[in-house]
Amino acid sequence: MRSTPAQWDRVYWEGKHLLMISAINGLAWWHSEVPLLCDIVLAADDVQFQDSAHFANGTVPGLLPRAWALVEQLAQRPSLLLRYTRVLFTEPLKRQLIDHLGYGLALEGMSVVDRTVTPGT
């Protein structure tokens, strides 16, 4: 558990400098949206996504048959069409993530530090 401003500063700094390639192996249960917004996503066959950080009892529904149907459709399209269509849809999301990530991390850090500080200190 991070509990000092210096520890949260590292979370903030690393969060603002996200990588563009993600490799997901196993469970992605905390902030799984971050690796999914990368330009290249490499995922093992047994990866599981869940939003346990925000919805403690919820899980992302499994859409595997639908995903395979989409893959088959997309495989028929030209690669540049696919690449730039993805850029069109993900760029605004990435911009919002970058614009608001630092503020969100700062608020999250303050709430954690507040819980770990003893009264009267």
121 belongs to a structural domain: no
57 belongs to a structural domain: yes
Ranges of H-type helices in the chain: 5-16, 33-36, 64-74, 79-116
Mean pLDDT for the chain? Answer: 75
89 belongs to a structural domain: yes
Instruction: Provide the pLDDT for residue 38.
Output: 76
Ranges of H-type helices in 17-53: 33-36
What is the Cβ-side half-sphere exposure of residue 52, based on CA atoms within 13 angstroms?
A: 7
99 belongs to a structural domain: yes
pLDDT tens per residue, range 27-54:
877 777 777 777 778 888 888 876 665 5
Identify the CA nearest to 34 among candidates 119, 105, 114, 106: 105
58 belongs to a structural domain: yes
Domain that holds residue 67: 5-116
pLDDT tens per residue, range 49-102:
766 655 454 444 457 676 678 778 888 998 888 888 888 888 888 888 788 888
Instruction: Indicate the number of domains in the chain.
Output: 1
Instruction: Provide the pLDDT for residue 76.
Output: 92
Instruction: Provide the pLDDT for residue 61.
Output: 44
